[in-house]
Structure 1
Amino acid sequence: MAPRGAVRLSLNKPSYAVCVVGVETLVAVHSDVPEGAETFGVSGSSGVEVFTVRGPSRVTKPAGKARWPLEGDTEVVVSVDTVSKDLDDLQVTVSYFGPREGRALGHSVLYLTGVDVSLDVDTRRTGKARKSRSDKKTWHWGPEGHGAILLVNCDKESPRSTEPDLRHSQLTSLDDLQDMSPMVLSCGGPDDVFRRHKLVLQVSAPDSQRLRVFCARGGTGLAHYQMVLGPARLSYAVDRQPGEREIAFHVEGLSFPDAHFQGLVSLSVSLVDTGALSEVDLFTDTVVFRVAPWIMTPNTQPPLELYVCSVMDSHGSNEKFLDDMAYLAMKANCKLIVCPRVENRNDRWIQDEMEFGYIEAPHKSFPVVFDSPRNRGLRDFPYKKILGPDFGYVTREVQFAGSSSLDSFGNLDVSPPVTVGGREYPLGRVLIGGSFPKSSGRRMARVVQDFLRAQRVQAPVELYSDWLSVGHVDEFLSFVPTSDRKGFRLLLASPSACLKLFQEKKEEGHGEAAQFEGLKHKAKRTINELLEDRHLRKDSLHVQKCIDWNREVLKRELGLAESDIVDIPQLFFLKGAYAEAFFPDMVNMVVLGKYLGIPKPYGPLIQGRCCLEERVRALLEPLGLRCVFIDDFLSYHKLLGEIHCGTNVRRRPFGFKWWHVAP
């Protein structure tokens, strides 16, 4: 019996086969054998490689003989190395012999037609689809890895559209092709072959929901591009034109990696023989893509745009704050973008509404805003005002009854690149706040956590932030860039450092210097009074224990030493079971390169200078930083937020390529 998938031979008439260049074809030399035959010989015309397989051996000529024994474990494999100019222009001849020397007992002739069928993508990550026969079915991480990358087409190229491009099954702009990954189908060979054979592009049902494939037939205008694979379309019989040797396709991603999607999708093309009673797949080529992850950028990346809201409500206008932000942006050489009241509906907490990141493939990169589930006054701003050409959008929704303050993105941060126990995190690690382990407190919504973990390149760390009234990690930590070898410091709010500073000032004879000096409508508190306030001391020391717990987690999970951490003086008080900042929370700052926009703490004045500001300057300015203290007391602090909560920064993407990560 002929091996499954092998070409059968006949002594009475020629056999015919179509072979894909570079792909081995099994020839069934036992399918029609003359009576008395014990050996055979095989030869091929120019352009055909013939070799015989016996067990583990694979050779082109018999050892010391001119013929092969007709034993059951002997197989013949042929391969063509060129595309045929005409039908049946390549030949293989098998001759059968008896036990004695003499003429052959019979001959079988096999005519071959060589065709070039190959589905190729950017497996080498150079930005272009290149032909390859090797390992297109797998995807590997690391600098020596390989495999194609797919961008989620989540921006909006056409100004006439109101939705991201991935919502459209038709192109709305030719520019949209730049957001898609190239894929090329090689289909060279005699035209007559493709009259009896067809090429079928296929995708599985699950993957069809995660990608689309477009192809232009008949021209290259916008109307000529049609979706050939995607949702509800699992296969496409390729429309090959006479003489056509390559067909270009464009592939777009529709879904980011998530809890039930690891990010890998595959496509295949099959050469199908339609001449038989039933169609037969002669050859299938498969390629795999990985969908590019959404990547956050830490404070150590240079700022590009500073976002802030203009508000006017019962708490007054923040016009002075906007002026201070304009000054800071100018010093940092980044663009200031003010969200007007008509767009923010007096929702000033722009950090809580969204987080900026980006996606990248070898051929293209663009920023993507992640819209939080909080959905307050700013809920429409990311979608209606930021989504646009080469600026993508993604969100994760939760039921309102299941959301909490911890779903806001002041509770989402990312560290600079770190190395932990020899393991590198070249894109840093995402930080989120939650409840104390094994407790039943507030946590970030599972759908958001699942999304962040599924991106894989910035392995998230969950911290304990539920001890705060608002519950955000930006209330007790921040990262700042430094000019030394380490490249950054972790800033932690520290009640102990503040109490120690006040004790020092008391011992120096400044016990009557007052906190909140210069603030109207706020009672002043002397250093002596603050140190004698047992409730404030008790509350602040409780908070210190919460921060110290996080300190140990951060040291362990980010590979930090004590010298990498700077303690920023700060007091807290408890309101019920939750903590709030006693004076403007200085770690809740905006970082624009070396310029830090820090909430003005209104600390005790000693020789005309705020001792809290002076201590922070002494801690940070030797590291190459510039501290700019900004009054946010009425506009933000009294509303349980600070400068970081009221600003947002889009930063330059990493130079490091995420596909070089080894997660």
Structure 2
Amino acid sequence: MRPISKAAVLALGLLGTGRGFKATILADTNRDGRVDVTGDTDMADKQIWTDTRGALFLANIGDTQQRCSVHITESVSDHDLDKCHDASDNVQRNAKYLAPLKSVPCSGLSSAATGRLFVSGLGAADRVRIFRKFHNGWVYVASDYVFSARDLEAGLDLGIDGRDVRRPGVWDGRVKVHLVIRDGAEIAMDAVALRVAPVLTHHHLQLASQVLVTGAGTRSPQAKFVQDLQANVKKAGIEWPVYQFPGDDIWTQDFFEPGYMSIPGPHGAIMLRVMIRSSQGGRPTGRMVFSMLRSDTVGAVQFLGNDWGDTTDSMGNLETIPPHTHNGKSYPAGRTIVGSRNGLRPYMTNFLNAQEVQATVNVDTGFLLIGHVDEFLQFLPAKNARGWVMMVNDPMAGFEILQKTKAAGLGAIKALSRPSFPSDKSQCLPSDTVDEVLRRGDRTVNFANAQAYSALRIQANVDIIKRETGLEDADIIRVPTLFYTESFECSCNGEDDDGDEDNGGTLVVKDIVEAAGPRSKTRTPRRRKLQDALFTAFYPGSINGVVLSDTQVLAPNPWGPVVNGKDIIAEAVAAAYRKVGYTVIFQEDWFSHHVDQGDVHCGTNTIRNPTTPWW
């Protein structure tokens, strides 16, 4: 579509308004899913796009019949990965994602009258397509397309879609479509403003419809993890089977984030799912969102940094606060929340904020070894006035559980109750007692101080979220947990075994910076100041789980000390979730994920169903 400059628009306007006829082009300006050509509901302020009024359209970036995906090989560069999709040429393959444009029938024209369409807006001409509807399909309206007098008298039935999404410094998604009618010396013109819909991330008020995971490959612990996950997901009532990616990158949460775009339609919202690749250019598993997940209902985007990226650029460091209103500002699609280290925000934040809907909340994850927000917080649907609560880790509560166990004279019992499974093979389990855990500190940092310091840093982030959202203490549920500079260790045949290897295979480790090769099995403990230490979940972190429904959470099994036949940490976790009406389904992940500083949420992903309009 050929652009038209602002000067040209003004020049056309000076030529006249067509005393005998009038040009009127309309879109769904009032966002009711229809274009009103007989009334005036879409007329007011139609040339001005605002957050609350103005027509929307979709980037038609799916891949119908995987026309593009089948050609993605290792030789296709990242730069070219997203160049082919349903809207990358001028053929309309997926008309259900066209947004309507119509012209009001124009009378009083001579047979010589003609009409043309132009677009204006920085960067818009190369990123939008306009089509004309015929009885047998849609025809692309090129820059030299001419409408006849008969076409104009009948009224134009058009559709618009995008070739791309909103991108920082490239295109803000805005476009004006101009209709110019000429009849002899007379000219009439009109315009309507539109904007491509934002790419949004899911929040947990949108219920899960499918769970995704990386398949077992050659790794026995992952095979058990996948098998258990399939059973637990089915138990939760999710009908779609668990989707399994190939390969060895078991951190399925981290290499992409499921999202969506939606606009009003005549029968409800029209939605295109959009998979957002992590900005880690050195993480090839992210390419699978283009080669494996795209379809006629699913698109994919990427916003890559200039290097490999840090662990904080993983998508496990991106969560979404559910919808809320605070300080007079409404966030009907919620807000993204990310963690930063030393003031450096994830690169993806630039893309997220360019969507201008889910203004990012930034918290400090600099005290964590991995540095992801999903390590210490989680949002749940709830039957309260707000409609949701925040679950947050409470290290001091976890520490108190162990202290009470010791005080009861049970300090000699095993701190870790996990049994051996056949899938463990040669890997060993720690044999620490509760007393030994509480005495930790002679090697690195004092165990008690580690809990107090972690709690302090977590509370500082809670205070940020409270300021940003208006969240009150009554809507915050504390979940007992424990942090330390390392998880349990065990010794097999005199050698440390951290689970990095399984039957000769090497795990893909959590930190993307370390993902270029296997982690060294030699660790040199050293005493550190608290402010220099980086912490990780000591027991499997229950908050790092999957919200399966509005009553069920899938959480990693902590395998805490067993007293009177019950895991006292698992009991405390379940009690915290019961406060808001949730049942916890515990999932084993010790050797599959936990020994490499991740848990159930890190190793899975979810597709969710948006239910309420964001506009």
Q: In the alignment, which of 315, 321, 327 is matched to residue 225 of structure 2?
A: 321
Q: Tell which has more relative contact order, 1 or 2 (C-alpha 8 A, sep 6+).
A: 2
Paired amino acid for 2:333: L
Paired amino acid for 1:221: N
CA distance in 2, matches of 1:302, 1:494: 26
Match of 2:34 in 1: 128
Match of 1:417 in 2: 323
Match of 1:150 in 2: 57
Match of 1:38 in 2: none
2:608 paired with 1:651: yes
CA distance in 2, matches of 1:654, 1:557: 24
**Deviation by residue 1:206-232 (Cα, 9 ceiling, x = unmatched):** 32022111225xx5435x61242xxxx
CA distance in 1, matches of 2:418, 2:29: 64
- State the structure with more CA Rg: 1
| RMSD after superposition | 2.6
Q: In the alignment, which of 332, 347, 355 is matched to residue 257 of structure 2?
A: 355
Paired amino acid for 2:306: Q
Tell me if the contact between 2:129 and 2:140 (Cα under 8 Å) persists in the aligned partners: no
Paired amino acid for 1:265: V
Tell me if the contact between 1:429 and 1:461 (Cα under 8 Å) persists in the aligned partners: yes
Structure 1, unaligned stretches of length 5 or more? 6-16, 26-113, 276-280
Instruction: Number of aligned residue pairs: give it.
Output: 522
Q: In the alignment, which of 211, 235, 238 is matched to residue 331 of structure 1?
A: 235
CA distance in 2, matches of 1:414, 1:300: 10
CA distance in 2, matches of 1:272, 1:561: 61
Equivalent positions of 1:634-645 (< 5 A) are 634-645=591-602
2:390 paired with 1:433: no
Match of 2:166 in 1: 257
Q: Which moved more, 1:612-621 or 1:489-498?
A: 489-498
Match of 2:489 in 1: none
Tell me if the contact between 1:164 and 1:387 (Cα under 8 Å) persists in the aligned partners: no
Shift of 1:388: 0.5
Match of 2:390 in 1: 490
2:464 paired with 1:560: no
Match of 1:35 in 2: none
Tell me if the contact between 1:328 and 1:595 (Cα under 8 Å) persists in the aligned partners: no
- Secondary structure of 1:270 counterpart: strand
Paired amino acid for 1:362: P
Tell me if the contact between 2:482 and 2:538 (Cα under 8 Å) persists in the aligned partners: yes
Shift of 1:274: 4.8
CA distance in 2, matches of 1:18, 1:289: 25
CA distance in 2, matches of 1:526, 1:158: 57
Match of 1:89 in 2: none
Tell me if the contact between 2:212 and 2:242 (Cα under 8 Å) persists in the aligned partners: yes
Match of 1:170 in 2: 91
Match of 1:542 in 2: 453
- Secondary structure of 1:378 counterpart: helix
Shift of 1:159: 4.2
Q: In the alignment, which of 173, 179, 186 is matched to residue 104 of structure 2?
A: 186
CA distance in 2, matches of 1:151, 1:338: 28
Shift of 1:485: 4.1
CA distance in 1, matches of 2:315, 2:201: 12
Paired amino acid for 2:543: V
- Secondary structure of 2:114 counterpart: strand
Match of 1:81 in 2: none
CA distance in 1, matches of 2:320, 2:151: 54
Shift of 1:245: 1.9
Q: In the alignment, which of 190, 195, 198 is matched to residue 293 of structure 1?
A: 198
Shift of 1:354: 1.3
Match of 1:372 in 2: 278
CA distance in 2, matches of 1:244, 1:274: 16
**Deviation by residue 1:434-463 (Cα, 9 ceiling, x = unmatched):** 1244xxxx5311xx2121112222211011
**Deviation by residue 1:103-137 (Cα, 9 ceiling, x = unmatched):** xxxxxxxxxxx334211111222222222443221
Tell me if the contact between 2:368 and 2:534 (Cα under 8 Å) persists in the aligned partners: yes
Under a length normalisation based on structure 1, what TM-score does the superposition of the two structures give?
A: 0.74
Change (3 A) 1:187 1:518: closer
2:126 paired with 1:209: yes
Tell me if the contact between 1:164 and 1:393 (Cα under 8 Å) persists in the aligned partners: no
Q: In the alignment, which of 321, 344, 347 is matched to residue 246 of structure 2?
A: 344
Shift of 1:464: 0.8
Match of 1:500 in 2: 400
2:492 paired with 1:582: no
- Secondary structure of 2:253 counterpart: helix
2:202 paired with 1:245: no
- Secondary structure of 2:370 counterpart: coil
2:216 paired with 1:311: yes
- Secondary structure of 1:613 counterpart: helix
Under a length normalisation based on structure 2, what TM-score does the superposition of the two structures give?
A: 0.79
CA distance in 2, matches of 1:317, 1:127: 49
Tell me if the contact between 2:46 and 2:54 (Cα under 8 Å) persists in the aligned partners: yes
2:375 paired with 1:475: yes
Shift of 1:348: 1.3
Paired amino acid for 1:226: Y
Paired amino acid for 1:251: I
Shift of 1:288: 0.2
Identity %: 27
Change (3 A) 1:600 1:198: same
Paired amino acid for 1:184: K
Paired amino acid for 1:166: A
Match of 1:525 in 2: 432
CA distance in 1, matches of 2:552, 2:152: 62
